[in-house]
Amino acid sequence: MDYLPLFFDLRGKHCLIVGGGAIATRKARLLNKAQACIHVVAPKIEQELSALVLASGGQLIDGEYHSELLQDKALVISATDIAEVNERVARECHALKLPVNVVDCPSLCSVIMPAIIDRSPLIIGVTSGGQAPVLARKIRTQLESSIPAAYGALAKLFSPFRKKIKKAFPDDDVRRRFWENTIDGSVAEKVFAGDLAGAEQELREKIDQQDVLRGGEVYLVGAGPGDPDLLTFKALRLMQKAEVVLYDRLVSEPILDMVRRDAERVYVGKKRDNHAVPQQEINQMLVDYALQGKRVLRLKGGDPFIFGRGGEEIDLLAANKVPFQVVPGITAASGCAAYSGIPLTHRDYSQSVRFITGHLKEDGDDHAWGEFVNPNQTLVFYMGLAGLSRICQKLIEHGKDPQTPAALIEKGTLPEQRIHKSTLTGLPEYVKQRKVSAPTLLIIGDVVSLHDTLNWYHPQA
């Protein structure tokens, strides 16, 4: 993070704007909303700006900027189109450790202005640190349209009840659940419908009756193959709701960042040269946390029901009568195929697709290899990196054409994705030379040859 977002209480504080044009006016409008006392210095000051300054109780200073004006100021904004003036203002503010913002010049700023969504008392600031302001504005537009204007009213409704609620629900977790249920439930619906009196009454009743749904639950959620954009809305919603998250190696950092900030994080995956938490222990942890009344998120790579042992995890939950939900995710086969231009089925090349574990027993006899040699199908091996040579060799032994196209997709859908494409005979050697690391997915079949023409979007190493 290059910046720490903070919210600045400027009520009644003296702020200086250097510049008197349209940009200065825009900044003055914001300072005005934040109830600051605005002073402006410029040789020429626009009418609206003058009015804002006077209404705020500040001064209009007709003329050039000089350093005495910095005295007793809480914030300075330089909004002139003269680079030397902006630079001087910034330099002098930095020397005084006075927060300064130079419009459109992040390198001179000690504080930068975000794009703002104002649902006071709820305020959201979005910034790209000056690197992509258009993107930040686009996000603001999206948020503007997706956050009901009535959220401000909702926050105002709750505000006087905070103390009472704290008293009625002294336990932190229970209180949080009360808040969340209220925000998601009928009280909020009433506010959105404009029935503030009804909402207030219902809120009072809920507090008096100490109405809170207790009892833990488990969300078994597929997080997809890596790209956070491939999460489902439902996954995201539950990720924001859970109080504890159990995750493993396949869940990427940007996805974990989307889990609620204050959720307890428990890593249950394998560490290098170390053993993973045994499956039975994970199953038991899910039950234990839920029985403590927690909302537990079990976040899994890809889809929980495809080589995800999801079935075992919910088995114990069901036996203990713990409520749970399963949320499907995009499995590695779909993600890798789509991001590398390899359709898993194709009218002309492949009429079926098999998802197969590449985790072989010593003798490799755990598969009906003979069934895999039909040319009109696509084979997808999960967990196939260590056994790659054996898999290719077994298929050839059982009669698969050695020239069948085969690709190993490394870190599919992530920015580091690489595609290693060859034939059934050539792939193991090719992969050996290219220093490949997990996770990888092996796709075998004629559809792999389509990669050359269909992979225009994701340039490959």
Name 224's bridge partners: 302
Nearest distance in Å: CB 427, ligand SAH: 15
Query: Does 445 help bind ligand SAH (rule: CB under 6 A)?
Result: no
Amino acid making up residue 339: Y
Interior/surface letters 374-402, b for 16+ CB within 10 angstroms, e for the rest: eeebbbbbbbbbebbeebbebbbeeebee
User: Under the criterion CB under 6 A, does residue 331 sit at the interface with ligand SAH?
Assistant: yes
Closest contact distance (angstroms) between CB of 322 and ligand SAH is 22
Selected from 287, 336, 337, 395, the binder of ligand SAH by CB under 6 A is: 336
| 314 contacts ligand SAH (rule: CB under 6 A) | no
Q: What values do phi and psi take at 5, rounded to 5?
A: -70, 130
* 379: contact with ligand SAH by CB under 6 A: no
- How far apart are the C-alpha atoms of 446 and 348, rounded to whole Å? 9
Q: Which of 178, 307, 349, 372 binds ligand SAH (CB under 6 A)?
A: 307
Distance of CA 338 to the CA centre of its chain: 21
Residue of 58, 216, 308, 445 that binds ligand SAH (CB under 6 A):
308
Stretch that binds ligand SAH, among 78-86, 114-122, 188-196, 436-444 (CB under 6 A): 436-444
226 touches ligand SAH by CB under 6 A = yes
Is 248 among the residues known to form the active site?
Answer: yes
- Of 170-178, 262-270, 298-306, 345-353, the segment contacting ligand SAH by CB under 6 A is 298-306
- Residue 248 as a binder of ligand SAH (CB under 6 A): the answer is no
Q: Kindly state the smallest distance separating residue 338's Cβ from ligand SAH, in Å.
A: 12
Name which position in 382, 418, 450, 451 contacts ligand SAH (CB under 6 A).
382
CA–CA separation, 303 and 330 (whole Å): 6
SS3 assignment, position 342: coil
Q: Which of 20, 58, 328, 439 binds ligand SAH (CB under 6 A)?
A: 439
Task: Pick the closer one to ligand SAH by CB: 153 or 409.
Answer: 409
302 near ligand SAH (CB under 6 A):
yes
- Per the CB < 8 A criterion, the answer to whether 153 and 146 are in contact is no
The CA distance from 236 to 21, in Å, is 44
Member of 217, 243, 248, 303 binding ligand SAH (CB under 6 A) = 303
Does 301 bind ligand SAH (CB under 6 A)? Our answer is yes
Active site residue 452: no
**Cα gap 199→203, rounded to integer Å:** 6
For residue 178, give the nearest of 156, 217, 207 by alpha carbon: 207
Amino acid, single-letter form, for residue 104: D
State the Cα–Cα distance between residues 387 and 364, nearest whole angstrom: 9
Q: Amino acid identity of 413?
A: T
First-residue to last-residue Cα distance in the chain: 29
Q: Is 225 a binder of ligand SAH (CB under 6 A)?
A: yes
CA–CA separation, 372 and 353 (whole Å): 10
From the candidates 270, 365, 366, 452, give the one annotated as an active-site residue.
Answer: 270
Q: For residues 80 and 340, which CB has a smaller minimum distance to ligand SAH in the complex?
A: 340
Q: Is 357 strand, coil or helix?
A: strand
User: Which spans of this chain sit near ligand SAH (rule: CB under 6 A)?
Assistant: 225-226, 250, 300-303, 306-308, 331-332, 336, 382-383, 409, 411-414, 439-441
Residues marked active site are found at: 248, 270
